[in-house]
Structure 1
C-alpha cells in the first residue's frame, strides 16, 4: 500500500529526494512510504533535487577538508621537515586516509545492516533496485560530493601541473563508477565494490604516510602490493557473478528507463567492459610501477657493488733504535739506557 505524502521535517535540513510513486510509476518529488506490519519504512529514488543536495555537501566537504589540513596535517608536516614534493604527497595521502577510513567504516556498517554481505543473491535479485533506504542514498550522495569537491581542491591545494593529469584520472574513474552504480540501480553491488576498493586505497596511503615519516619503513607497501592483486581479483569476480550471471537470469530483461530497468545484454556488456577495463588499467599501472621500483633498487645495489674500495697506503717501517723499549724508555741490550748524543754548540 503506497501513499504520496509531503515531508516537511526533512526539507528543513536535507533536500527532499526524488521518489517514484508505486501505483502510477511516474516521477514525483515526495517520499515513497512502504507500510509494514507494525512499522513504516521510507525509501528514496534519485532525481534532479539530488544535484542541489550534492552541491550543498560539496561545500561541507570543502570545510572539513580545510579543518583536517590545518589542524592535523600541517602540524605533522612541520615536524617532519618535508620537501615540497613530499609535502604535497603527504597532504594528499593524509586527506585520503581520513576519507577512506571513514568511508570503509560507513560502508561496512551499511552493507551489514542491509544484509548484503550475508546474502550475495540480493546483489541481483529483485532488480531494478529503484528504492533506496536513507543510509544508502545518503552514502552515495556524500561519495559523489567528495569526489566532485576534489576538482576545485586541485586549485586550492596548488597542486603541481605534473600531478594534475594523474589526479584527474582517478577522480574521473571514481565519479564514473559511483554515478554509474547509482543511476543504473546497481547500488548494492556498488557498495561491495567500494568497500573492497577503499580498503586497498586506505592501506596504500597509510603506507605512504609511514614512508614519509621513516624512509626505511616499507613493510606496509609490501602488504599493500599483496592485497592489491587480490582485491582486483575479487572485484572482477563479483562483477562477473552479479552482472554477467545474476542479472542474466532475472526474468525482467526489458529496457525501461522510466522504471529504472537497464537489464539488457548490451547494457550488461557495457557495464562489464567498464569494470574490466578499469581493473586492467589499474593492474597495468601497478605492475609498471613495481617494475620501475625494482629496477631502481637493483641499480642502487649494483652501484654500491661497483664502487672500488679505497686503496690502503703501505705502512711505513718504523725505525727502532737498538735495544728494547720499556715503559716508553729505550733500554740498551745490557739493560742501561743509551747515551744521548750531545749537540755541538755553534
Structure 2
C-alpha cells in the first residue's frame, strides 16, 4: 500500500483489533461500546466520556475504508468505464464513495427511526426526556456518524480546495456541533432526525455526478431532477418541521431544568443553542439552494454551466452543482 492514509489507518486498525483479541482495556474502549447498563437484556447503553474512544476509532476506520475503496475498487471501476484523466478519476471515486456511504447511513438511520416512537410524530422528540438509555444499534449509529463527520473535516482539507470551501467548512462544524451537543444533552432524537433528512439528497446528487462521468447522461438527468425535488422536500421542508418542533413543542412536555446528575439539560440557553445551530445550518442550505435554482434555470433554458475547479475539464450539470452542494 502506497497511500499514506491507507498505511497509517490500516496500521492503527490492526493495532486496535490485536488489542481487542488480547482483551486490552484501552483497545476495548476503541472497539466496543462503553457504558452498558448492568443486567440489561437486550443491552442498552448510556453515554460517558469514554465514548470519545469509539468515535476516534471510527474517524480512523472511515479514513481507511474510504481510501481503500477509492484506491482499489472505484479506480478500477473508473478504468473499466474509460475514465483516464487523474482529476476525473479522483472525482468519480469521491462520488462513488459518497453514494456508498450515504446509502448505508440513510438506510440504517431510517430503519432505526421506523422502529422508534418518534416515527412521523415529533412530540416524541420530547416525551420521556431525558432519553438516556440507547440501544446498542442506535449508539453505534450515532457515534459512528459523529466519527464520519469529524473525518469529513479532514477530507475537506486533503482534497483539492473547493470554491465553496467556506460553506462546506461551516456546514461540517455546525453538523459536528449539533451531533455532539445533542448526544451530550440527551437530545439524540433531534440529531437522528436531522441526519436522516440530510443524507438522502446526497445519494441522488452523488449518483447523478457519477453517472455523468461515465457518459450516462439520461440517467444523470433523471437523478439530478430527483435530487432537486428531494433537496427542497427534506432540507427546506422536513428540516423546518423539525425546527418548528424545537421552537414550539418542548415546553409542552418538559419543565425548564438543569439537572446533569439525572441527564437533564433542558434550559432556555440549551433550547436557544439548538435553535441557533439549526438556523445557521439552514442559512448555509439556503445559500446552496440559490445555486441549485440558478443551475436548474440554466439547464431548463438549454445552457450548460462550467465547473471552474479544473482548468482542464468542461463538465456540465450536475457537476457544477457539486461545487456548491456535496
User: When the two structures are superposed, what TM-score results if normalisation uses the length of structure 2?
Assistant: 0.74
Note if 1:282 corresponds to 2:285. Answer: yes
Q: Which moved more, 1:138-147 or 1:268-277?
A: 268-277
**Residues of 1 paired with 2:120 and 2:228: CA distance?**
28
Higher relative contact order (CA 8 A, sep 6+): 2
Residue-by-residue CA offset, 1:65-84 (whole Å, 9 max, x unaligned): 12311232101222332544
User: Partner of 2:37: helix, strand, or coil?
Assistant: strand
Given the superposition, is the C-alpha separation of residues 17 and 219 from structure 1 closer, same or farther in structure 2, using an over 3 Å criterion? closer
Given the superposition, is the C-alpha separation of residues 291 and 153 from structure 1 closer, same or farther in structure 2, using an over 3 Å criterion? closer
**Residues of 1 paired with 2:259 and 2:265: CA distance?**
6
**Residues of 1 paired with 2:48 and 2:57: CA distance?**
15
**Residues of 2 paired with 1:287 and 1:155: CA distance?**
25
Q: Give 1:99's match in structure 2, choosing from 98, 101, 104.
A: 101
**Residues of 1 paired with 2:75 and 2:302: CA distance?**
35
Q: CA deviation at 1:198?
A: 0.7
Q: Give 2:256's match in structure 1, choosing from 241, 253, 258.
A: 253
Match of 1:33 in 2: 38
**Residues of 1 paired with 2:299 and 2:207: CA distance?**
23
Note if 1:244 corresponds to 2:257. Answer: no
Computing the radius of gyration over CA atoms, which structure comes out larger, 1 or 2? 1
Match of 2:119 in 1: 117
Given the superposition, is the C-alpha separation of residues 33 and 208 from structure 1 closer, same or farther in structure 2, using an over 3 Å criterion? same
Note if 1:172 corresponds to 2:173. Answer: yes
Residue-by-residue CA offset, 1:252-290 (whole Å, 9 max, x unaligned): 311233433222233222212221231232123222343
Residues 197 and 239 in structure 2, CA contact (< 8 A), matched pair in contact too: yes
**Residues of 1 paired with 2:114 and 2:272: CA distance?**
29
User: Partner of 2:101: helix, strand, or coil?
Assistant: helix
Q: Which moved more, 1:122-131 or 1:267-276?
A: 267-276
Given the superposition, is the C-alpha separation of residues 133 and 60 from structure 1 closer, same or farther in structure 2, using an over 3 Å criterion? same
The alignment covers a number of residue pairs equal to: 277
Q: CA deviation at 1:125?
A: 0.5
Q: CA deviation at 1:295?
A: 4.5
Q: CA deviation at 1:250?
A: 2.1
Residues 229 and 283 in structure 1, CA contact (< 8 A), matched pair in contact too: no
**Residues of 1 paired with 2:78 and 2:130: CA distance?**
48
**Residues of 2 paired with 1:299 and 1:110: CA distance?**
42
Q: CA deviation at 1:89?
A: 2.7
1:102-251 maps to which residues of 2 (within 5 A)?
A: 102-117=104-119, 120-154=122-156, 158-160=159-161, 162=163, 164-165=165-166, 167-214=168-215, 216-217=217-218, 218-231=221-234, 232-241=236-245, 243-251=246-254
Residues 88 and 159 in structure 1, CA contact (< 8 A), matched pair in contact too: no
RMSD between aligned residues: 3.0
**Residues of 2 paired with 1:236 and 1:245: CA distance?**
12
Match of 1:44 in 2: 45
User: When the two structures are superposed, what TM-score results if normalisation uses the length of structure 1?
Assistant: 0.70
Segments of 5+ residues of structure 2 without an aligned counterpart are 1-22, 305-326
Note if 1:266 corresponds to 2:269. Answer: yes
Given the superposition, is the C-alpha separation of residues 286 and 155 from structure 1 closer, same or farther in structure 2, using an over 3 Å criterion? closer
Match of 2:71 in 1: 70
